[in-house]
Amino acid sequence: MRARWSSRTIFLFAAIGSAVGLGNIWRFPYMTYKYGGGAFLVPYLIALFVLGIPLLIMEFAIGQKLQKGAIDAFKTVNARLRGIGFAAIFSGFVVVVYYAAVMAWSLVYFLRSWTNNLPWAADSKAYFFGEILHISEGVGHIGGINWTLFFALLAVWVMIYFCVWKGVKSAGKVVAITMPLPIILLVLLFIRGITLPGALTGIGYYLLPDFNALFDAEIWLAAASQIFFTLSLAFGIMVAYASYNKPNQDLVKNGYITAITNSAISLFAGFVVFAVIGYMSHTTGAAVADVAVSGPGLAFVVFPQALSLMPLAGLFSVLFFLTLLSLGIDSAFSLVEAVNTVIVDKAKNIAQKKIAAIVCLMAFVLGILFVTGAGLYFLDIFDHFVTKFGLVLVGIFECIAIGWIYGAERLRKWINSVSDWHLGSWWNLAIKWVIPIILTVLVVIQFMAEMTENYGGYPDWAIALGWLSVIIPILIGIILAVKPGETKVNI
Ligand code: PHE
Burial class (CB in 10 A: 0-12, 13-18, 19+), 246: middle
Q: Whose alpha carbon is nearest atom 2 of ligand 1? A: 21
Q: What is the pTM assigned to this prediction?
A: 0.96
Q: Which amino acid is at 377?
A: Y
The 10s digit of each residue's pLDDT in 287-312 is: 999 999 999 999 999 999 999 999 99
Nearest CA to ligand 1 atom 6: 232
Task: Return the pLDDT at 489.
Answer: 46
Q: What is the best residue among 225, 226, 229, 298 to mutate for testing ligand 1's pocket, by most ligand atoms within 8 Å of CB?
A: 229
- If you measure from the C-alpha of residue 231 to the centroid of ligand 1, how many angstroms do you get, rounded to a whole number? 7
> Can you give the pLDDT at residue 483?
84
239 close to ligand 1 (CB < 6 Angstrom): no
Residue 178 Cα to ligand 1 middle (Å) = 14
Q: What is the pLDDT of residue 485?
A: 65
Residues in the chain where the model's pLDDT stays below 70:
485-491
Nearest CA to ligand 1 atom 8: 331
- CB of 29 closer than 6 A to ligand 1? no
The per-residue pLDDT for 395 is: 96
Residues paired with 145 in a beta bridge:
372
Looking at the DSSP assignment, which residues form a beta bridge with residue 372? Answer: 145
Query: Which pLDDT score is estimated for 85?
Result: 97
* Shortest-distance Cα residue to atom 10 of ligand 1: 331
Residue nearest to atom 7 of ligand 1 (CA): 232
Q: In the prediction, which pLDDT does 1 show?
A: 83
Q: In whole angstroms, give the CA distance from residue 220 to residue 209.
A: 15
| 251 Cα–ligand 1 center, Å | 21
206 lines ligand 1 (CB under 6 A): no
CA of 232 to the centre of ligand 1 (A): 5
**Measuring CA to CA, how many Å separate 482 from each of 85, 308, 402, 475, 479?**
15, 58, 19, 11, 5
Give the whole-angstrom CA distance, residue 126 versus residue 241. Answer: 41
Handedness of CA 454, 455, 457, 459 (dihedral sign): negative
421-460 burial string, b = 16+ CB within 10 Å, else e?
eebeeebbebbbeebbebbeebbeebeeebeeeebeebee
Nearest to 55 by CA among 330, 336, 259: 259
